[in-house]
Structure 1
Amino acid sequence: MDSIDIGVFIVYLVALVGMGSMFSRMKNAKDMFAAGGKSPWWLSGLSSFMTTFSAGTFVIWGGIAYRYGLVGVSILVMIGISAMFVGYFLAKKWKSYGYDSAAEFLNDRFGKSLVRFYTFLQGIVGLFTMGGAVYALAVVVTALFPLSEGHLLADPATGHFSVTIASLIICFLVIAIAFGGGLWAVLVTDALQFIILTVSVLIVVPLIITKIGGPMEMINTAPPGFFNLVHGEFTWYFLMGWGVVFFFKIGGEWAYVQRFVCVPTARDAVKSTYLFGILYIVSPLIWMLPPMAYRWIDPNADYEQAYVLASQAVLPSGMLGLMIAAMCSATASMATTQLNVFAGAFTTEIYQRIFRPDARDNELVRAGRIFTFLLGVLIIAGALIIPRMGTYTGYILASVAILTGPLVLPTIWGLYSRKTGLKTAWIVTIFSIVVGLVVKLGFQTDGWLAELQTLSYLTTMVQANERVTEIVVGTAVPLLLLFVAELGIGRKNKGWEKVQAKKQQAFEVADTAPSILPAKICAWSTIIVGIMIALISIVSTEKQMITGGFAGFLILLGVAILAGIRKKGEQHALN
């Protein structure tokens, strides 16, 4: 990266924090953690997309696409299909109950003890894992920042910008965005990142395909199986299981539930989830083409760096800096989402319910910001510790497959079951986690169960199908336990009656109109970025047509959004 790229990189990240601070004058906890129920459906959908997208696209799925080809696309498409099913079955259900968070629903449905357990476990594990995502992207990005020998900020081993320092910078960016503007800041910055990254990758794709000799060259000289939808451990069984896991993950994980409840109506919740699903069905091929094509440029590259190296190979000065900044902030958006969700849970379910039940709104906002900062330390800890625990890709695949079911299935079951209660939820959660960890750790090559001769057949099967086993154990065990409990319980649970009363109350409340402020901010931010890139195209002599075209498209897009807002406002005035 040259001086222009570095300048764009710094300006973009600083502006991102400034944009988040525009929402700092929040009046209550609902504004901070549920956007006051006024988020437009499209904003919620884009934010869900970016929350899932983030580091996984660049590091995990980009690496898989570089090594194995089209299977990287297959995995992402399954997430989109899962989101469509969630939109049909669960999104409307969540919004119809009238709660501002999953934690609030669980408190009424099952009880405070389970909520506190989920808050601590999911908060600690989830935010710690986000630290790993930050580190993984820091490794990729710092590869583009070579420094002089002996430089204060250099890593002596690589001669590039220190990965540790880069990780800490991204972590503090995460804390600053979530601390200042709450969920509104997370939603709006997600939308801007979506625009910048999408337009950038649409430019990268034709450039890199042209650089390797065209699409026919790619097709005719591809490694065997490179365009197969499955490969190795990523079998059809894995893909089907992955889709099931993500159905439960999107349908019950607190960060996604937050997107269902922050919109004005149940219909908006469905529309936002459908948008999320459609984006993940139609766009993965476009997103995965750069790392796939980079294999023709350097077949021996670090696969986790393939995405950013592909961008570096074809993007002109200025645009590369913008692309890398958007990558960093997209990963930050995943972390800010988790941070905002669990800061809200700690504020309402721990601080308010236990210590300050009569706390006023401004006090809860202050408490939320304090929890945001304290929980941000967990992200920093993850960024420093997870690299010493093995590969980030393997850690994510295993943790998602094993922990998603035990931690979200009781919640989803509680949306429909009249009989399931606190005791059942506790048993399903704890027993399923224990079984998952025993199978994962016990049947490894050096595991204690692998040494038992009587289990040799099972050991061989588990080790030969590691990814499928993780999914089966993580979903089948809690599902079976919940089904058995449902058959054995004979009476309606009191928690069910409580949430039904809340649902009736929510039905009687008039719908809230969505805010137009996010659209205005996105429009003006897009215009400003476009103007900045236009100035760069004047200064730079490299690929001015591409840079200028990119700038012009962003400016026109921003103007079109503003025109749409104005037209809609005039229609409302006439009505």
Structure 2
Amino acid sequence: MNGLDWAVLIAYFGVMVAIGLWSHKRVDDVGDYFTAGGRMPWWLSGISHHMSGYSAVMFTGYAGIAYQYGITSYVTWSFPIAIGIAIGARLFAPRLNRMRSQLHVASPLEYLKDRYNLTTQQALAWSGVLLKIVDVGAKWAAIATLLSVFTGITLTQGIVITGAITAVYCTVGGLWADALTELGQFVIQLVAGLAMLVAALGKVGGFSGIWTVWDEPALRHHGEPTAGPYTLVFLLAYLFIKTFEYNGGMWNQAQRYMATRSAREATRSAVLSSALWFVWPLVLFFPMWISPLLVHARKPDGSDSYGLMVERLLPHGLLGLVVVGFFSHTMAMCSSDANAIAAVVTRDIAPAFSRTAHAWTARAGLIAARFTTVAFLGLSMAVATQVNSPTFKDIITVVIKWVAGLVGPIAIPFMLGLMRAFRRSGPTAALTSWAMGLLAFYLLNYPVNDAVQGGVKLQYQVAAPLAVSLVLYIVIGWIKPEDTPERDALIAKVNTDPPGSAAIALPEPAQEPGPVARPSAAAEQHQDGPGTRHAAG
């Protein structure tokens, strides 16, 4: 990178911070901070949902898969995500939106205390937070790896730079800042991705190279849809997993649906995100597929191939823009995760351990949310320095094996608990499916692998925990039904739109009210009496 590239990068950082400061004016309470007050347009929510779904891991870990195996990087990654989001557009998006509008919650997990019990809520909250610290750590390591290719700075320096910039804008502006910066990042990535595509096509004979390049000996097997460990079974397992993860199972995507004005707009948001997942990764992936013709990767897994290709193909200025594109994806995902985790910590975990948190004013709650956001980002940055340790092995291992393998036990009780068909499944089913899913992940990834090296294929390592959780959640629900009138009433609220625009009141639980029952400060000022709440904002 030269002075022009650095100018582009610094200007990008400046714009991100400016958006965060502008968004600060739109944030008055935790509802604004975590769900944009339910006022986000569906198209902005859809673009934000898409951008928060992938990071610089695409340009390192998945670039390595594309370098080694070709189009299987698209077929077994973004294609199943697109299908999964399309499925969730009807199944999950409207229900998640009604969860905010009718239950008056600001965190995706607030409803779990009434749907199951406090123990279930805390189990899912704590395990999800710990997993996300590791997941986001992998994202910081990915962008730092790319930055080191272009600038020569160390991994730790790259992690600190990207994490600090992200902390500024997402802490100040909340979900509004996340969504608006993701819109800007989408435009930047559009220009950068097209520039890279044109440059790559110029090296293989122009537009016709899209069809003719596959005859090259170096790409002989790159046209096969599944290859290596990424088999058809892996594709089906990944579709299974990503349907839950990208429809809200890891919480940050759930916030995008919760932030729209209505259930119908949440559905439209999901449809837009799905369409983008079908189309846009094709543009980004093509240069990666033909990268063996253009560069020779220095790393055995090929994770540095895209960075080397950018250096070779693009002039200064455009090179800086592509580096900005790397940052845009990573910062989009990490900032959205930080906001979601802050919501869970301040609205679900803190009130369970502190009576003071129950009585937070709007200002105190907002301060706690911002402090938690910074703390989460700091912890994930510390973990990022350990991603290449023997425990995690490498970036792609963390993303595929850890995240895909562990998302199921956390997502199953959270997402299926919203649906009428699973109303019989209560706390026993939720906790058992969660615990046994985590145990399945451990057994398939550690003792078994130590005893039989390579004996358990990747698709089973990532799919089995979710399958175990799903089966136990359903079976235990039928063996030991725990549906009650109160739980049935809660499920009914998220499955149907209320008459007109009025929200249906949620009955007060018999136990001490927690985050779900506690309305915002604005709502408290407009209560007609116990058990009747009006949506604030």
Is TM more than 0.5 here?
A: yes
Match of 2:271 in 1: 274
1:193 partnered with 2:198: no
1:143 to 129, 138, 149: 149
Match of 1:468 in 2: 459
Code of the residue aligned with 2:405 in structure 1: it is I
For residues 112-153 of structure 1, give each alpha carbon's deviation from its aligned partner in whole angstroms, at most 9, with x where no partner exists. 2222222222112202321221112211122111xxxxxxxx
1:80 partnered with 2:82: yes
In 2 relative to 1, CA 265–282 (structure 1 residues): closer, same or farther, beyond 3 Å?
A: same
Code of the residue aligned with 2:311 in structure 1: it is Q
Distance (Å, rounded) in 2 between the aligned partners of 1:498 and 1:279:
36
Moved more, 228-237 or 484-493: 484-493
In 2 relative to 1, CA 431–491 (structure 1 residues): closer, same or farther, beyond 3 Å?
A: closer
Code of the residue aligned with 1:107 in structure 2: it is K
Match of 1:15 in 2: 15
Match of 1:291 in 2: 288
Distance (Å, rounded) in 2 between the aligned partners of 1:394 and 1:356:
37
Moved more, 278-287 or 35-44: 278-287
1:212 to 190, 204, 208: 204
1:321 partnered with 2:295: no
Match of 2:194 in 1: 202
Q: TM-score normalized by structure 2?
A: 0.86
1:261 to 238, 258, 261: 258
Partner secondary structure for residue 104 of structure 1: coil
1:127 to 133, 138, 143: 133
Partner secondary structure for residue 261 of structure 2: coil
Match of 1:35 in 2: 36
User: Across the two proteins, how many residue pairs are aligned to each other?
Assistant: 484
Match of 1:345 in 2: 344
Partner secondary structure for residue 23 of structure 2: coil
Q: How does 1:414-563 map to 2 (within 5 A)?
A: 414-416=417-419, 417-444=422-449, 447=450, 450=451, 459=452, 463-464=454-455, 466-490=457-481, 492-493=483-484, 496-500=487-491, 503=494, 507=498, 510=501
Code of the residue aligned with 1:137 in structure 2: it is I
In 2 relative to 1, CA 211–301 (structure 1 residues): closer, same or farther, beyond 3 Å?
A: farther
Unmatched tracts of structure 2, length 5 or more: 504-537
**8 Å contact from structure 2 (residues 106, 343) kept in 1:** no
Partner secondary structure for residue 36 of structure 1: helix
In 2 relative to 1, CA 85–508 (structure 1 residues): closer, same or farther, beyond 3 Å?
A: same
Match of 1:359 in 2: 360
**8 Å contact from structure 2 (residues 96, 494) kept in 1:** no
Distance (Å, rounded) in 1 between the aligned partners of 2:170 and 2:117:
28
**8 Å contact from structure 1 (residues 294, 306) kept in 2:** yes
Match of 2:525 in 1: none
**8 Å contact from structure 2 (residues 195, 318) kept in 1:** no
Distance (Å, rounded) in 2 between the aligned partners of 1:22 and 1:358:
29
How far off its partner does 1:70 sit?
A: 0.7
For residues 232-273 of structure 1, give each alpha carbon's deviation from its aligned partner in whole angstroms, at most 9, with x where no partner exists. 111111111111100111232211111111100101111111
Match of 1:169 in 2: 161
**8 Å contact from structure 1 (residues 429, 478) kept in 2:** yes
Quick check: which one's helix share is greater?
A: 1
Moved more, 398-407 or 346-355: 346-355
How far off its partner does 1:358 sit?
A: 2.5
How far off its partner does 1:299 sit?
A: 3.1
Match of 2:303 in 1: 304
Distance (Å, rounded) in 1 between the aligned partners of 2:219 and 2:32:
52
Q: TM-score normalized by structure 1?
A: 0.80
In 2 relative to 1, CA 487–18 (structure 1 residues): closer, same or farther, beyond 3 Å?
A: same
Code of the residue aligned with 1:369 in structure 2: it is R
Distance (Å, rounded) in 2 between the aligned partners of 1:23 and 1:202:
29
Distance (Å, rounded) in 2 between the aligned partners of 1:255 and 1:203:
30
**8 Å contact from structure 1 (residues 62, 304) kept in 2:** yes
Code of the residue aligned with 1:227 in structure 2: it is G
How far off its partner does 1:506 sit?
A: 7.1
In 2 relative to 1, CA 189–280 (structure 1 residues): closer, same or farther, beyond 3 Å?
A: same
Match of 1:402 in 2: 405
How far off its partner does 1:490 sit?
A: 4.1
**8 Å contact from structure 2 (residues 67, 305) kept in 1:** yes
2:172 to 180, 184, 203: 180
Distance (Å, rounded) in 2 between the aligned partners of 1:13 and 1:291:
26
Distance (Å, rounded) in 1 between the aligned partners of 2:186 and 2:500:
33
How far off its partner does 1:298 sit?
A: 1.5
How far off its partner does 1:465 sit?
A: 5.0
In 2 relative to 1, CA 475–491 (structure 1 residues): closer, same or farther, beyond 3 Å?
A: closer
How far off its partner does 1:188 sit?
A: 0.7
**8 Å contact from structure 2 (residues 51, 182) kept in 1:** yes
How far off its partner does 1:491 sit?
A: 5.1
1:118 partnered with 2:124: yes
Code of the residue aligned with 1:54 in structure 2: it is S
Match of 2:506 in 1: none
How far off its partner does 1:411 sit?
A: 1.4
Code of the residue aligned with 1:219 in structure 2: it is W
How far off its partner does 1:279 sit?
A: 1.0
Partner secondary structure for residue 231 of structure 1: coil
Unmatched tracts of structure 1, length 5 or more: 146-159, 451-458, 513-575
Distance (Å, rounded) in 1 between the aligned partners of 2:502 and 2:9:
41
Match of 2:113 in 1: 107
